[in-house]
Amino acid sequence: MNEILGGRIKALRNAKKFTQEQVADQIGISRQKYARIESGVNSITFDILSKVANVLDVTVGDITKVLDETPAAAYRAGEESGSSKKIFDMLDLFYANKHMCARLQRRDMI
């Protein structure tokens, strides 16, 4: 999941022609930490995800929608291979998206 989100963030950053350092400076983290987020080594928190979305002038949903697309495409292509790890990853993703959606809805109510 981290690699998928990181790849999406990197693609959006490249589309805006920003460097990693520019984005990292604007969100208040080191370039190294930001690079690890893009590469999928580090997980991304909701707060950092929100800051990245603001810097790249997109919504959090624009970034996370790739999470909904990739597992479905892999399943239809027969790449699932019955692995329980992938099932648990999909469950983790479901609950992460559910939690993120609830936080966004609470923030919109304020």
Q: Which residues, 6 or more positions from 17, have their beta carbon under 8 angstroms from its beta carbon?
A: none
Spatial separation of the C-alpha atoms in residues 20 and 42, rounded to whole Å = 15
Digit-coded pLDDT (tens) for 38-88: 999 998 888 999 999 999 999 998 888 877 765 544 544 555 455 667 777
Q: Tell me how crowded residue 75 is: count the other CB atoms within 10 A of its CB.
A: 12
- The enclosing H or E element of 86 equals helix 84-109
Enumerate domains of the chain plus CATH numbers: 2-109 (1.10.260.40)
With 90 as the cut, is the pLDDT of residue 16 above it?
A: yes
> How distant, in Å, are the alpha carbons of 44, 60, 79, 110 from that of 54?
15, 8, 34, 18
Question: What pTM was computed for the model?
Answer: 0.62
